[in-house]
Structure 1
Amino acid sequence: MHPMLLLLLWGSLTLMETWAGSHSLMYFSTAMSRHGPGEPRFITGGYVDNTQFGRFDNDSPGQSVELRAPWAGQVRQKELDEETRNQRNQAQWFKALLQDLRGLYNQSNNNGSHTLQRMCGCEVGPDGSLLRGCEQFAYDGADYIALNWDLRSWTPADTVAQITRRQWEALGRAERVRNCVQDRCLTWLHRLLELGKEVLQRT
Protein backbone atom coordinates (compact mmCIF):
# COMPACT_ATOMS: atom_id res chain seq x y z
CA MET A 1 0.00 0.00 0.00
CA HIS A 2 1.22 3.52 -0.77
CA PRO A 3 3.03 5.05 2.28
CA MET A 4 0.91 8.22 2.12
CA LEU A 5 -2.25 6.09 2.20
CA LEU A 6 -1.00 4.26 5.28
CA LEU A 7 -0.22 7.58 6.95
CA LEU A 8 -3.70 8.94 6.23
CA LEU A 9 -5.38 5.80 7.52
CA TRP A 10 -3.25 5.78 10.65
CA GLY A 11 -4.12 9.41 11.26
CA SER A 12 -7.81 8.56 11.05
CA LEU A 13 -7.39 5.62 13.41
CA THR A 14 -5.67 7.68 16.07
CA LEU A 15 -8.54 10.18 16.00
CA MET A 16 -11.12 7.50 16.80
CA GLU A 17 -10.34 7.04 20.48
CA THR A 18 -13.40 5.54 22.15
CA TRP A 19 -14.90 6.82 25.36
CA ALA A 20 -14.40 4.83 28.57
CA GLY A 21 -16.36 1.59 28.29
CA SER A 22 -17.49 2.32 24.74
CA HIS A 23 -16.88 0.32 21.56
CA SER A 24 -16.72 1.34 17.92
CA LEU A 25 -17.05 -0.26 14.51
CA MET A 26 -15.25 1.71 11.81
CA TYR A 27 -14.65 1.16 8.10
CA PHE A 28 -11.81 2.91 6.28
CA SER A 29 -12.24 2.76 2.49
CA THR A 30 -9.95 4.05 -0.25
CA ALA A 31 -10.42 4.20 -4.02
CA MET A 32 -7.38 5.07 -6.15
CA SER A 33 -7.66 5.77 -9.87
CA ARG A 34 -4.96 4.22 -12.02
CA HIS A 35 -2.89 5.77 -14.76
CA GLY A 36 -4.79 5.23 -18.01
CA PRO A 37 -7.87 2.99 -18.31
CA GLY A 38 -8.86 0.39 -15.76
CA GLU A 39 -10.95 -0.01 -12.64
CA PRO A 40 -9.85 2.03 -9.60
CA ARG A 41 -8.15 0.09 -6.83
CA PHE A 42 -10.62 -0.19 -3.93
CA ILE A 43 -9.61 -1.27 -0.42
CA THR A 44 -11.64 -1.37 2.78
CA GLY A 45 -10.48 -2.23 6.28
CA GLY A 46 -12.97 -3.01 9.05
CA TYR A 47 -12.00 -2.30 12.66
CA VAL A 48 -13.57 -2.92 16.06
CA ASP A 49 -11.92 -0.69 18.68
CA ASN A 50 -8.89 -0.22 16.38
CA THR A 51 -8.52 -4.01 15.97
CA GLN A 52 -8.77 -5.05 12.33
CA PHE A 53 -11.21 -7.89 11.76
CA GLY A 54 -11.69 -7.80 7.98
CA ARG A 55 -10.39 -6.49 4.69
CA PHE A 56 -11.63 -6.20 1.11
CA ASP A 57 -9.43 -5.54 -1.93
CA ASN A 58 -10.90 -5.59 -5.43
CA ASP A 59 -7.46 -6.64 -6.73
CA SER A 60 -7.55 -9.84 -4.68
CA PRO A 61 -8.50 -13.19 -6.28
CA GLY A 62 -12.25 -13.70 -6.00
CA GLN A 63 -12.82 -10.16 -4.70
CA SER A 64 -14.06 -11.48 -1.36
CA VAL A 65 -13.91 -10.16 2.19
CA GLU A 66 -10.95 -11.60 4.09
CA LEU A 67 -11.15 -12.08 7.85
CA ARG A 68 -8.12 -10.80 9.75
CA ALA A 69 -8.81 -11.70 13.40
CA PRO A 70 -8.92 -15.27 14.82
CA TRP A 71 -12.24 -14.66 16.57
CA ALA A 72 -13.77 -13.29 13.35
CA GLY A 73 -13.52 -16.78 11.88
CA GLN A 74 -16.80 -17.53 13.68
CA VAL A 75 -18.69 -15.22 11.30
CA ARG A 76 -21.23 -17.26 9.36
CA GLN A 77 -20.66 -17.76 5.62
CA LYS A 78 -24.01 -16.11 4.90
CA GLU A 79 -22.87 -12.98 6.73
CA LEU A 80 -19.53 -13.05 4.94
CA ASP A 81 -21.20 -13.38 1.53
CA GLU A 82 -23.52 -10.46 2.33
CA GLU A 83 -20.58 -8.27 3.33
CA THR A 84 -18.71 -9.26 0.16
CA ARG A 85 -21.68 -8.18 -1.97
CA ASN A 86 -21.86 -4.93 -0.04
CA GLN A 87 -18.17 -4.19 -0.60
CA ARG A 88 -18.38 -4.98 -4.31
CA ASN A 89 -21.27 -2.54 -4.58
CA GLN A 90 -19.27 0.03 -2.65
CA ALA A 91 -16.39 -0.38 -5.11
CA GLN A 92 -18.70 0.54 -7.99
CA TRP A 93 -20.16 3.50 -6.09
CA PHE A 94 -16.66 4.80 -5.28
CA LYS A 95 -15.70 4.42 -8.95
CA ALA A 96 -18.65 6.59 -10.04
CA LEU A 97 -18.01 9.21 -7.34
CA LEU A 98 -14.32 9.34 -8.19
CA GLN A 99 -15.22 10.01 -11.83
CA ASP A 100 -17.66 12.74 -10.79
CA LEU A 101 -15.06 14.44 -8.62
CA ARG A 102 -12.48 14.44 -11.39
CA GLY A 103 -15.03 16.23 -13.56
CA LEU A 104 -16.02 18.71 -10.85
CA TYR A 105 -12.36 19.59 -10.23
CA ASN A 106 -11.69 19.85 -14.01
CA GLN A 107 -9.33 16.87 -13.90
CA SER A 108 -11.09 14.80 -16.58
CA ASN A 109 -8.14 15.13 -18.97
CA ASN A 110 -5.65 14.42 -16.21
CA ASN A 111 -4.40 10.83 -16.39
CA GLY A 112 -2.73 11.06 -13.00
CA SER A 113 -3.89 9.05 -10.01
CA HIS A 114 -6.51 10.46 -7.65
CA THR A 115 -7.64 9.18 -4.27
CA LEU A 116 -11.04 9.13 -2.57
CA GLN A 117 -11.21 8.05 1.08
CA ARG A 118 -14.08 7.47 3.46
CA MET A 119 -14.32 6.81 7.18
CA CYS A 120 -17.70 5.63 8.48
CA GLY A 121 -19.07 3.70 11.41
CA CYS A 122 -20.72 3.84 14.80
CA GLU A 123 -19.90 3.88 18.49
CA VAL A 124 -21.88 2.40 21.38
CA GLY A 125 -21.79 3.03 25.10
CA PRO A 126 -21.27 0.47 27.89
CA ASP A 127 -24.98 -0.42 27.73
CA GLY A 128 -24.79 -1.09 23.98
CA SER A 129 -26.81 1.98 22.96
CA LEU A 130 -25.72 4.24 20.12
CA LEU A 131 -23.50 7.16 21.11
CA ARG A 132 -22.67 8.50 17.66
CA GLY A 133 -22.23 7.66 14.00
CA CYS A 134 -20.08 9.19 11.32
CA GLU A 135 -19.32 9.35 7.61
CA GLN A 136 -16.63 11.64 6.22
CA PHE A 137 -14.75 11.84 2.94
CA ALA A 138 -11.39 13.10 1.74
CA TYR A 139 -10.29 13.68 -1.85
CA ASP A 140 -6.61 13.65 -2.79
CA GLY A 141 -5.69 13.81 0.88
CA ALA A 142 -7.82 16.85 1.77
CA ASP A 143 -11.13 17.00 3.64
CA TYR A 144 -14.07 16.95 1.22
CA ILE A 145 -17.44 16.47 2.97
CA ALA A 146 -18.62 15.11 6.30
CA LEU A 147 -21.91 14.05 7.83
CA ASN A 148 -22.64 16.15 10.92
CA TRP A 149 -23.12 14.51 14.31
CA ASP A 150 -26.88 14.93 14.01
CA LEU A 151 -26.70 12.45 11.07
CA ARG A 152 -29.06 14.72 9.15
CA SER A 153 -26.90 17.36 7.46
CA TRP A 154 -23.54 17.72 5.70
CA THR A 155 -20.57 20.03 6.06
CA PRO A 156 -18.73 20.61 2.76
CA ALA A 157 -15.07 21.61 2.82
CA ASP A 158 -15.04 23.70 -0.37
CA THR A 159 -17.25 25.04 -3.16
CA VAL A 160 -17.05 21.78 -5.15
CA ALA A 161 -18.19 19.80 -2.10
CA GLN A 162 -21.19 22.14 -1.87
CA ILE A 163 -22.35 20.67 -5.20
CA THR A 164 -22.09 17.18 -3.74
CA ARG A 165 -23.99 18.32 -0.64
CA ARG A 166 -26.89 19.57 -2.75
CA GLN A 167 -26.94 16.33 -4.75
CA TRP A 168 -26.91 14.19 -1.63
CA GLU A 169 -29.59 16.29 0.04
CA ALA A 170 -31.82 15.76 -3.01
CA LEU A 171 -31.15 12.00 -2.90
CA GLY A 172 -31.74 11.72 0.86
CA ARG A 173 -28.30 10.20 1.46
CA ALA A 174 -28.12 11.40 5.09
CA GLU A 175 -31.28 9.45 5.92
CA ARG A 176 -29.88 6.28 4.33
CA VAL A 177 -26.61 6.64 6.22
CA ARG A 178 -28.49 7.33 9.46
CA ASN A 179 -30.63 4.22 8.98
CA CYS A 180 -27.49 2.17 8.28
CA VAL A 181 -25.78 3.48 11.42
CA GLN A 182 -28.82 2.79 13.60
CA ASP A 183 -29.50 -0.66 12.13
CA ARG A 184 -26.78 -2.50 10.23
CA CYS A 185 -23.80 -0.91 11.95
CA LEU A 186 -25.18 -1.44 15.46
CA THR A 187 -26.22 -5.04 14.72
CA TRP A 188 -22.85 -5.89 13.20
CA LEU A 189 -20.93 -4.24 16.06
CA HIS A 190 -22.89 -6.17 18.70
CA ARG A 191 -22.30 -9.38 16.75
CA LEU A 192 -18.54 -8.81 16.52
CA LEU A 193 -18.28 -7.81 20.18
CA GLU A 194 -19.93 -11.09 21.12
CA LEU A 195 -17.64 -13.13 18.88
CA GLY A 196 -14.51 -11.38 20.12
CA LYS A 197 -15.58 -10.69 23.68
CA GLU A 198 -12.54 -12.40 25.24
CA VAL A 199 -10.30 -9.92 23.44
CA LEU A 200 -12.45 -6.85 22.78
CA GLN A 201 -14.30 -6.59 26.10
CA ARG A 202 -11.37 -7.02 28.45
CA THR A 203 -11.07 -4.23 31.04
Structure 2
Amino acid sequence: MDRSLCALLLLGALALPDTWAGHHSLRYFHTAVTGPGLGEPRFVSVGYVDDQPFMSFDTDSPGQREEPRGPWMDSMKHEEPEFWERQTWIHRATAQNYRVGLENLRGYFNQSAGGVHSFQRMSGCEVSPELTFQRGFDQHAYDGRDYIALDMETLTWTAAVTPAMNTKRKWEADRSYTEGWKIYLEEECVQWLKKYLEMGKETLMRTDPPSARVTRHTAPHGEVTLRCRAQDFYPKEISLTWLRNGEEQPQDTEFIETRPAGDGTFQKWAAVEVTSGQEGRYTCRVQHEGLSEPLTLQWEPESSFTWYTVGGIAAALLILIAVIAGVGMWRRKHSGGKGSDYVPAADNESAQWSDVSLTAKA
Protein backbone atom coordinates (compact mmCIF):
# COMPACT_ATOMS: atom_id res chain seq x y z
CA MET A 1 0.00 0.00 0.00
CA ASP A 2 1.20 3.56 -0.67
CA ARG A 3 2.79 5.32 2.30
CA SER A 4 0.31 8.19 2.01
CA LEU A 5 -2.60 5.77 2.32
CA CYS A 6 -0.97 4.07 5.32
CA ALA A 7 -0.67 7.47 6.97
CA LEU A 8 -4.34 8.21 6.32
CA LEU A 9 -5.36 4.97 7.99
CA LEU A 10 -3.11 5.55 10.97
CA LEU A 11 -4.38 9.08 11.58
CA GLY A 12 -7.97 7.93 11.42
CA ALA A 13 -7.39 5.07 13.87
CA LEU A 14 -5.55 7.22 16.40
CA ALA A 15 -8.39 9.73 16.64
CA LEU A 16 -11.13 7.21 17.42
CA PRO A 17 -12.62 6.70 20.89
CA ASP A 18 -12.44 3.31 22.61
CA THR A 19 -16.07 2.40 21.95
CA TRP A 20 -18.82 3.57 19.60
CA ALA A 21 -22.51 2.80 19.93
CA GLY A 22 -23.71 -0.16 17.88
CA HIS A 23 -22.05 -2.25 15.21
CA HIS A 24 -20.55 -0.65 12.11
CA SER A 25 -19.90 -1.86 8.59
CA LEU A 26 -18.01 -1.01 5.43
CA ARG A 27 -19.47 -2.51 2.25
CA TYR A 28 -18.69 -2.19 -1.42
CA PHE A 29 -21.15 -3.01 -4.20
CA HIS A 30 -19.93 -3.61 -7.75
CA THR A 31 -22.27 -4.17 -10.68
CA ALA A 32 -21.55 -4.82 -14.36
CA VAL A 33 -24.44 -4.95 -16.85
CA THR A 34 -24.40 -5.84 -20.53
CA GLY A 35 -27.21 -5.88 -23.07
CA PRO A 36 -28.34 -4.87 -26.58
CA GLY A 37 -27.76 -1.21 -27.27
CA LEU A 38 -25.46 -0.68 -24.28
CA GLY A 39 -22.20 -0.89 -26.22
CA GLU A 40 -19.52 -1.63 -23.64
CA PRO A 41 -20.95 -3.15 -20.45
CA ARG A 42 -21.69 -0.53 -17.84
CA PHE A 43 -19.80 -0.81 -14.54
CA VAL A 44 -20.94 0.88 -11.32
CA SER A 45 -19.25 0.71 -7.92
CA VAL A 46 -20.58 2.27 -4.70
CA GLY A 47 -19.22 2.17 -1.16
CA TYR A 48 -21.26 2.38 2.06
CA VAL A 49 -20.33 3.05 5.65
CA ASP A 50 -23.20 2.05 7.95
CA ASP A 51 -25.56 2.03 4.96
CA GLN A 52 -24.59 5.59 4.00
CA PRO A 53 -22.91 6.01 0.57
CA PHE A 54 -19.54 7.73 0.71
CA MET A 55 -18.02 7.28 -2.76
CA SER A 56 -18.89 5.90 -6.18
CA PHE A 57 -17.67 5.23 -9.71
CA ASP A 58 -19.72 4.90 -12.92
CA THR A 59 -18.37 4.24 -16.40
CA ASP A 60 -21.32 6.22 -17.80
CA SER A 61 -20.38 9.35 -15.86
CA PRO A 62 -18.44 12.23 -17.47
CA GLY A 63 -14.74 11.59 -17.12
CA GLN A 64 -15.27 8.19 -15.48
CA ARG A 65 -13.83 9.36 -12.16
CA GLU A 66 -14.18 8.22 -8.57
CA GLU A 67 -16.36 10.74 -6.71
CA PRO A 68 -17.10 11.37 -3.01
CA ARG A 69 -20.69 10.96 -1.82
CA GLY A 70 -21.76 12.93 1.23
CA PRO A 71 -20.45 16.22 2.68
CA TRP A 72 -18.12 14.43 5.08
CA MET A 73 -16.08 13.04 2.16
CA ASP A 74 -15.76 16.32 0.25
CA SER A 75 -12.82 17.53 2.31
CA MET A 76 -10.86 14.39 1.47
CA LYS A 77 -11.26 15.11 -2.25
CA HIS A 78 -9.47 18.43 -1.80
CA GLU A 79 -6.94 17.31 0.80
CA GLU A 80 -5.95 13.97 -0.76
CA PRO A 81 -6.17 14.31 -4.56
CA GLU A 82 -3.70 11.44 -5.07
CA PHE A 83 -6.11 9.11 -3.26
CA TRP A 84 -8.90 9.87 -5.74
CA GLU A 85 -6.55 9.60 -8.70
CA ARG A 86 -5.52 6.13 -7.59
CA GLN A 87 -9.12 5.09 -7.00
CA THR A 88 -10.10 6.30 -10.45
CA TRP A 89 -7.27 4.33 -12.09
CA ILE A 90 -8.18 1.18 -10.15
CA HIS A 91 -11.86 1.32 -11.07
CA ARG A 92 -11.23 1.96 -14.72
CA ALA A 93 -9.13 -1.21 -14.75
CA THR A 94 -11.71 -3.06 -12.65
CA ALA A 95 -14.46 -2.13 -15.13
CA GLN A 96 -12.53 -3.84 -17.90
CA ASN A 97 -12.00 -6.92 -15.74
CA TYR A 98 -15.72 -7.15 -15.01
CA ARG A 99 -16.41 -7.09 -18.74
CA VAL A 100 -14.11 -10.09 -19.13
CA GLY A 101 -15.85 -11.72 -16.18
CA LEU A 102 -19.25 -11.33 -17.86
CA GLU A 103 -17.93 -13.08 -20.96
CA ASN A 104 -16.57 -15.95 -18.85
CA LEU A 105 -19.84 -16.35 -16.98
CA ARG A 106 -21.89 -16.40 -20.14
CA GLY A 107 -19.72 -19.29 -21.28
CA TYR A 108 -20.17 -21.15 -18.00
CA PHE A 109 -23.97 -20.88 -18.40
CA ASN A 110 -23.87 -21.84 -22.10
CA GLN A 111 -25.56 -18.60 -23.10
CA SER A 112 -25.36 -17.27 -26.63
CA ALA A 113 -24.37 -13.74 -27.46
CA GLY A 114 -26.94 -11.04 -26.80
CA GLY A 115 -29.45 -10.61 -24.03
CA VAL A 116 -29.19 -8.66 -20.79
CA HIS A 117 -26.82 -10.05 -18.17
CA SER A 118 -25.43 -8.74 -14.89
CA PHE A 119 -22.64 -9.61 -12.51
CA GLN A 120 -22.74 -8.27 -8.95
CA ARG A 121 -20.44 -8.41 -5.98
CA MET A 122 -20.82 -7.30 -2.36
CA SER A 123 -17.80 -7.36 -0.08
CA GLY A 124 -16.78 -5.76 3.18
CA CYS A 125 -16.50 -6.10 6.93
CA GLU A 126 -18.40 -5.44 10.14
CA VAL A 127 -16.97 -4.40 13.51
CA SER A 128 -18.19 -4.42 17.12
CA PRO A 129 -18.86 -1.27 19.20
CA GLU A 130 -15.22 -1.70 20.33
CA LEU A 131 -14.26 -1.51 16.63
CA THR A 132 -12.87 -5.03 16.54
CA PHE A 133 -13.46 -7.35 13.59
CA GLN A 134 -16.75 -9.29 13.74
CA ARG A 135 -17.23 -10.77 10.29
CA GLY A 136 -16.27 -10.39 6.66
CA PHE A 137 -18.18 -11.16 3.48
CA ASP A 138 -17.52 -11.57 -0.22
CA GLN A 139 -20.61 -12.59 -2.20
CA HIS A 140 -21.20 -12.79 -5.95
CA ALA A 141 -24.37 -13.02 -8.04
CA TYR A 142 -25.05 -13.54 -11.74
CA ASP A 143 -28.27 -12.43 -13.41
CA GLY A 144 -29.81 -11.67 -10.03
CA ARG A 145 -29.15 -15.12 -8.50
CA ASP A 146 -26.53 -16.16 -5.96
CA TYR A 147 -23.41 -17.44 -7.69
CA ILE A 148 -20.55 -17.99 -5.21
CA ALA A 149 -19.57 -16.77 -1.72
CA LEU A 150 -16.56 -16.93 0.57
CA ASP A 151 -16.74 -19.04 3.74
CA MET A 152 -14.46 -17.17 6.16
CA GLU A 153 -14.34 -20.07 8.63
CA THR A 154 -13.06 -22.72 6.23
CA LEU A 155 -11.47 -20.39 3.66
CA THR A 156 -13.39 -22.16 0.92
CA TRP A 157 -15.88 -20.95 -1.69
CA THR A 158 -19.51 -22.03 -1.65
CA ALA A 159 -20.97 -22.50 -5.14
CA ALA A 160 -24.68 -21.65 -5.24
CA VAL A 161 -25.23 -23.07 -8.75
CA THR A 162 -23.52 -25.79 -10.78
CA PRO A 163 -21.71 -23.43 -13.22
CA ALA A 164 -20.05 -21.75 -10.21
CA MET A 165 -18.05 -24.94 -9.64
CA ASN A 166 -15.75 -23.70 -12.42
CA THR A 167 -14.95 -20.57 -10.41
CA LYS A 168 -14.74 -22.51 -7.12
CA ARG A 169 -12.10 -24.88 -8.50
CA LYS A 170 -10.00 -22.05 -9.93
CA TRP A 171 -10.11 -19.88 -6.83
CA GLU A 172 -9.41 -22.71 -4.40
CA ALA A 173 -6.50 -23.91 -6.56
CA ASP A 174 -4.79 -20.59 -5.78
CA ARG A 175 -4.65 -20.60 -1.98
CA SER A 176 -2.92 -17.23 -1.89
CA TYR A 177 -5.97 -15.54 -3.44
CA THR A 178 -8.34 -16.66 -0.69
CA GLU A 179 -5.81 -16.05 2.08
CA GLY A 180 -5.24 -12.56 0.71
CA TRP A 181 -8.95 -11.84 0.88
CA LYS A 182 -9.04 -13.03 4.49
CA ILE A 183 -6.21 -10.66 5.42
CA TYR A 184 -7.90 -7.77 3.65
CA LEU A 185 -11.30 -8.33 5.28
CA GLU A 186 -10.00 -8.91 8.81
CA GLU A 187 -7.34 -6.21 8.89
CA GLU A 188 -7.23 -3.58 6.18
CA CYS A 189 -10.99 -3.30 5.73
CA VAL A 190 -11.30 -2.66 9.47
CA GLN A 191 -8.65 0.06 9.34
CA TRP A 192 -10.42 1.82 6.47
CA LEU A 193 -13.71 1.59 8.33
CA LYS A 194 -12.15 3.22 11.40
CA LYS A 195 -10.84 6.04 9.25
CA TYR A 196 -14.19 6.68 7.58
CA LEU A 197 -16.03 6.57 10.91
CA GLU A 198 -13.73 9.27 12.26
CA MET A 199 -14.13 11.43 9.15
CA GLY A 200 -17.92 11.18 9.13
CA LYS A 201 -18.64 10.88 12.85
CA GLU A 202 -21.01 13.87 12.94
CA THR A 203 -23.22 12.16 10.34
CA LEU A 204 -22.59 8.49 11.07
CA MET A 205 -22.69 8.68 14.87
CA ARG A 206 -25.81 10.82 15.21
CA THR A 207 -29.06 9.43 16.65
CA ASP A 208 -32.44 10.48 15.23
CA PRO A 209 -35.36 9.09 17.26
CA PRO A 210 -38.23 7.44 15.39
CA SER A 211 -41.69 8.79 14.92
CA ALA A 212 -44.27 6.00 15.10
CA ARG A 213 -47.98 5.30 14.74
CA VAL A 214 -50.44 2.39 14.73
CA THR A 215 -53.00 2.03 11.95
CA ARG A 216 -55.87 -0.41 11.39
CA HIS A 217 -56.49 -2.13 8.06
CA THR A 218 -59.43 -4.30 6.98
CA ALA A 219 -59.02 -6.89 4.20
CA PRO A 220 -61.79 -7.59 1.62
CA HIS A 221 -62.96 -10.64 3.60
CA GLY A 222 -63.04 -8.82 6.92
CA GLU A 223 -59.64 -9.76 8.34
CA VAL A 224 -58.31 -6.99 10.61
CA THR A 225 -54.63 -6.07 10.76
CA LEU A 226 -52.90 -3.59 13.03
CA ARG A 227 -49.72 -2.10 11.64
CA CYS A 228 -47.06 -0.40 13.74
CA ARG A 229 -44.85 1.81 11.60
CA ALA A 230 -41.70 3.71 12.58
CA GLN A 231 -39.85 6.21 10.41
CA ASP A 232 -37.36 9.10 10.44
CA PHE A 233 -34.88 7.17 12.62
CA TYR A 234 -31.11 6.69 12.51
CA PRO A 235 -29.16 4.46 12.99
CA LYS A 236 -31.09 1.60 11.37
CA GLU A 237 -31.19 -0.77 14.38
CA ILE A 238 -34.70 -0.71 15.84
CA SER A 239 -37.07 -3.08 17.62
CA LEU A 240 -40.83 -3.22 16.98
CA THR A 241 -42.70 -5.65 19.23
CA TRP A 242 -46.42 -6.45 19.30
CA LEU A 243 -47.89 -7.43 22.69
CA ARG A 244 -51.33 -8.86 23.48
CA ASN A 245 -52.39 -8.25 27.08
CA GLY A 246 -48.73 -7.52 27.82
CA GLU A 247 -47.37 -10.71 26.27
CA GLU A 248 -45.20 -10.67 23.15
CA GLN A 249 -46.65 -12.11 19.95
CA PRO A 250 -43.57 -13.02 17.89
CA GLN A 251 -45.20 -15.92 16.03
CA ASP A 252 -48.11 -13.82 14.79
CA THR A 253 -46.13 -10.74 13.74
CA GLU A 254 -45.22 -9.92 10.14
CA PHE A 255 -42.20 -7.67 9.61
CA ILE A 256 -40.65 -5.86 6.72
CA GLU A 257 -36.90 -5.39 6.90
CA THR A 258 -35.61 -1.96 7.80
CA ARG A 259 -35.51 0.17 4.65
CA PRO A 260 -33.75 3.43 3.75
CA ALA A 261 -36.12 6.35 3.40
CA GLY A 262 -33.95 8.14 0.85
CA ASP A 263 -33.13 11.08 3.11
CA GLY A 264 -30.52 9.42 5.33
CA THR A 265 -33.07 7.95 7.75
CA PHE A 266 -34.83 4.58 7.88
CA GLN A 267 -38.33 3.12 8.18
CA LYS A 268 -39.81 -0.19 9.30
CA TRP A 269 -43.20 -1.69 10.16
CA ALA A 270 -44.59 -4.71 11.97
CA ALA A 271 -48.15 -6.02 11.51
CA VAL A 272 -50.34 -8.41 13.47
CA GLU A 273 -53.74 -9.90 12.64
CA VAL A 274 -56.38 -9.35 15.30
CA THR A 275 -60.02 -10.20 15.93
CA SER A 276 -62.31 -7.28 15.23
CA GLY A 277 -63.27 -5.67 18.53
CA GLN A 278 -60.10 -6.89 20.28
CA GLU A 279 -57.82 -4.12 19.06
CA GLY A 280 -57.57 -2.60 22.54
CA ARG A 281 -55.74 -5.68 23.81
CA TYR A 282 -52.75 -4.99 21.56
CA THR A 283 -49.87 -2.59 22.08
CA CYS A 284 -46.77 -1.90 20.02
CA ARG A 285 -43.45 -1.32 21.77
CA VAL A 286 -40.81 0.69 19.88
CA GLN A 287 -37.20 0.61 21.07
CA HIS A 288 -34.40 2.65 19.52
CA GLU A 289 -31.07 4.16 20.52
CA GLY A 290 -32.50 7.66 20.03
CA LEU A 291 -35.29 7.12 22.58
CA SER A 292 -34.70 7.71 26.29
CA GLU A 293 -37.35 5.05 26.94
CA PRO A 294 -39.46 2.76 24.71
CA LEU A 295 -42.59 4.08 23.03
CA THR A 296 -45.78 2.14 23.78
CA LEU A 297 -48.55 2.69 21.24
CA GLN A 298 -52.14 1.48 20.71
CA TRP A 299 -54.62 1.93 17.93
CA GLU A 300 -57.09 4.68 18.81
CA PRO A 301 -59.88 5.35 16.28
CA GLU A 302 -60.10 9.03 17.01
CA SER A 303 -56.35 9.59 16.62
CA SER A 304 -55.21 6.74 14.41
CA PHE A 305 -53.35 9.10 12.11
CA THR A 306 -51.43 10.89 14.85
CA TRP A 307 -47.67 10.39 14.81
CA TYR A 308 -46.08 9.84 18.22
CA THR A 309 -42.64 11.30 18.69
CA VAL A 310 -40.29 12.24 21.48
CA GLY A 311 -41.62 15.75 21.05
CA GLY A 312 -45.24 14.64 21.38
CA ILE A 313 -46.09 17.20 24.03
CA ALA A 314 -44.81 20.02 21.84
CA ALA A 315 -46.85 18.68 18.92
CA ALA A 316 -49.98 18.59 21.07
CA LEU A 317 -49.44 22.22 22.05
CA LEU A 318 -49.07 23.19 18.40
CA ILE A 319 -52.37 21.50 17.60
CA LEU A 320 -54.06 23.32 20.48
CA ILE A 321 -52.69 26.65 19.30
CA ALA A 322 -53.85 25.91 15.76
CA VAL A 323 -57.36 25.09 16.97
CA ILE A 324 -57.57 28.22 19.06
CA ALA A 325 -56.38 30.31 16.13
CA GLY A 326 -59.08 28.80 13.93
CA VAL A 327 -56.69 26.95 11.63
CA GLY A 328 -58.64 24.31 9.74
CA MET A 329 -55.79 21.86 9.23
CA TRP A 330 -52.49 21.20 10.91
CA ARG A 331 -49.78 19.19 9.22
CA ARG A 332 -46.91 17.63 10.96
CA LYS A 333 -43.73 19.30 9.92
CA HIS A 334 -41.29 16.68 8.58
CA SER A 335 -37.67 17.15 9.43
CA GLY A 336 -35.36 17.91 6.48
CA GLY A 337 -31.70 18.08 5.49
CA LYS A 338 -30.76 14.58 6.63
CA GLY A 339 -28.23 13.51 4.05
CA SER A 340 -28.52 10.60 1.57
CA ASP A 341 -28.75 6.52 1.73
CA TYR A 342 -26.49 -1.07 0.23
CA VAL A 343 -23.27 0.51 -4.00
CA PRO A 344 -19.89 2.47 -3.50
CA ALA A 345 -16.42 2.47 -4.82
CA ALA A 346 -13.89 0.24 -3.17
CA ASP A 347 -10.70 1.36 -1.51
CA ASN A 348 -7.55 0.47 -3.41
CA GLU A 349 -7.06 -3.01 -1.98
CA SER A 350 -10.70 -4.02 -2.42
CA ALA A 351 -10.59 -3.01 -6.08
CA GLN A 352 -7.34 -4.88 -6.63
CA TRP A 353 -8.84 -8.09 -5.34
CA SER A 354 -11.82 -7.50 -7.64
CA ASP A 355 -9.40 -7.34 -10.54
CA VAL A 356 -7.92 -10.71 -9.65
CA SER A 357 -11.29 -12.40 -9.17
CA LEU A 358 -12.67 -11.32 -12.52
CA THR A 359 -9.69 -12.02 -14.74
CA ALA A 360 -7.40 -14.81 -13.66
CA LYS A 361 -10.01 -16.38 -11.41
CA ALA A 362 -13.45 -16.13 -12.98
State whether TM-score is above 0.5. yes
1:145 maps to 148
How far did residue 85 of structure 1 move?
A: 2.3
Amino acid at match of 1:150: E
Q: Write the distance in 2 (CA, Å) between the matches of 1:187 and 1:85.
A: 22
Deviation of residue 38 (structure 1)?
3.4
The 3-state SS of whatever aligns with 1:111 is coil
Matched, 1:98 2:99: no
Q: Which residue of 2 aligns with 1:71?
A: 72
* Identity fraction in percent: 46
Tell me how far apart the structure 1 counterparts of residues 75 and 191 of structure 2 sit (CA, whole Å). 16
Say if 1:29 and 1:117, in contact at 8 Å, map to a contact too.
yes
Matched, 1:126 2:129: yes
Would the alpha carbon gap of residues 38 and 151 (structure 1) be closer, same or farther in structure 2, given more than 3 Å must change?
Answer: farther
Contact 2:152 2:182 in 1 (8 A): no
Q: Alpha-carbon deviations, 1:170-190, whole Å to 9, x = none?
A: 233322221221343222211
SS of the counterpart of 1:21? Answer: coil
Give the Å deviation of 1:132.
0.8
Q: Tell me the TM-score normalized by structure 2.
A: 0.48
Partner secondary structure for residue 83 of structure 1:
helix
| Distance (whole Å) between structure 1 residues aligned to residue 150 and residue 160 of structure 2 | 11
Alignment partner of 1:158 is 2:140: no
Name the amino acid aligned to 1:70: P
Inter-partner Cα distance in structure 2 for 1:186 and 1:84: 22
State TM-score, norm by structure 1. 0.83
Could you list the per-position Cα deviations for residues 28-75 of structure 1 after superposition, in whole angstroms to 9, with x for gaps in the alignment? 111001326832100011110000111110111221111110001122
Q: Does 1:27 align with 2:12?
A: no
1:151–1:178 Cα contact (<8 Å) kept: no
Give, as a single letter, the amino acid of the residue that structure 2 aligns with 1:179. I
- Spell out the pairing of 1:7-26 with structure 2 (5 A cutoff): 21-26=22-27
User: Counterpart in 2 of 1:201?
Assistant: 205
Give the distance between the partners of 2:64 and 2:188, measured in 1 at CA.
22
Structure 1 stretch displaced more, 84-93 or 151-160: 84-93
Q: Does 1:89 align with 2:89?
A: no
CA shift, 1:150, in A, is: 2.1
Larger-Rg structure: 2
Q: Is the 8 A contact 1:74 1:195 kept in 2?
A: no
> CA RMSD, aligned part only?
1.8
Cα separation, 2, equivalents of 1:91 and 1:190: 27
Compare the two structures and name the one with the higher helix fraction: 1
Secondary structure at 2:163's aligned position in 1? helix
Q: 1:118 to 1:32 in 2, by over 3 A?
A: same
- Cα contact 1:26–1:121 (8 A) shared by 2: yes
User: What runs of 5+ residues in structure 1 fail to find an aligned partner?
Assistant: 1-19
Distance 2:125 2:25 in 1: 6
Amino acid at match of 1:169: E
